[in-house]
Structure 1
């Protein structure tokens, strides 16, 4: 098969797969990943800003 034809067929197949995946993808009802990540970063920042003497010490076994 000629390389150009093979590439075009691949692009068409990939586009079909993308459309099928978009149609079958479950709709997200919770907060977006970006929002969840943002709150996790805020939580991490607050943990880092808390003085060490107030944080519980966890020792690895």
Structure 2
């Protein structure tokens, strides 16, 4: 059986580690571009690619 102070010290160490991991995760997410911006950029690139890949209609000579 562990001594209560030992258990409490381990709990505090684990809690500090979890807080540090959460802060690192929060900072990493804050540095990433927003999801909405990435989605809009992706669809814009798809639209541009489709426009470039679609042949232009040619005028028929009469």
State the TM-score bracket (shorter-chain normalisation): 0.3 to 0.5
Using the size of structure 2 for normalisation, the TM-score is 0.42
Q: Which has the higher helix share?
A: 2
TM-score between the two structures when normalised by the length of structure 1: 0.42
